[in-house]
Amino acid sequence: MRAGRLAPGLALALSLAACGGNAPEAVFLNFDPQTTPRELTRGWSSFERTGAGDTYVWAQARAATITLRAGRPDDRILRFRAWPFRYEGAPPQRVTVVLNDVTLGTFPLPDGPTVVETPSPAAAWKRGKNVLTFDFAYAEAPKDRIAGADDGRTLAAGFDWLEVLPVPADGGEPRP
Ligand SMILES: [Ca+2]
C-alpha cells in the first residue's frame, strides 16, 4: 500500500515510527551492576542479594535519587518493587516519588515487598537527564533500633527493581 493512500493520521504514525529514535523507550533497572551501573546517584548503599538471590540496594537516607536518561517527553508508567526497613515500634513507612520538580504521589510501603505503580506525565519529563527522587518517612540504623544489630547504615527501603514503560498514544496497555 502506498503512503498516499493512507488516512492522514495513520501515515503520520507510520512516518514517526520510521524515525526510530523518536519512539519512547522502556527502562528496566534490576539494581545490579549490569543494569544499574550509574543511575543510583545519591542516598544508596551498595549492591546486595536477598536469600532468594534477588539483587537489591538499600536506600540509606531520607532522600535517594536515581538519574534516568530519556528521549522526548512522553507519558510514562513508573513501577518499582521495594520493602521498608522495619523495627519494633517503627512508624508507617511511606515514600513520596518526585520526578524532576513534579511530585507523582506518596505511597505506603507496608511490611514486605510492594510493587508501586504511578503514571508520570510528559510534562514532568525532560529530554536527556531526569532526576527521580524518593523521599521516605524515615531512615534508621538497625544498630540503633534492633538489639544485637551492628549495621550502622540508616536504612529506609530496599529496592529490587524499577521500570519505566512508555504509554502508547492510543491509551492501551504499557509496552513491556
Ligand atoms: Ca533486583
For residue 132, tell me if it sits in a domain. yes
**Is there a domain that residue 153 lies in?**
yes
Phi, psi (5° rounding) for residue 15?
-70, -35
Distance 119 CA to ligand 1 centre (A): 22
The predicted structure's pLDDT at residue 18: 41
Q: Is residue 105 situated within a structural domain?
A: yes
In a domain, 68, yes or no: yes
- C-alpha 54 – ligand 1 centre gap (Å): 5
Domain assignment present for 1: no
Domain-embedded: residue 2: no
pLDDT at 172: 61
CATH code, domain carrying 38: 2.60.120.260
Q: Is residue 176 part of a domain?
A: no
Residues 26 and 166: their CA atoms lie apart, in Å, by: 6
- Residue 171, domain member (yes or no): no
Residues of the chain with pLDDT under 50: 1-4, 6, 10-21
What total number of domains does the chain contain?
1
Taking the complete model, does pTM exceed 0.95, yes or no? Answer: no
Question: What spacing in Å lies between the alpha carbon of 55 and ligand 1's midpoint?
Answer: 4
For residue 27, how far is its CA from the centre of ligand 1 (angstroms)?
14
CA of 67 to the centre of ligand 1 (A): 17
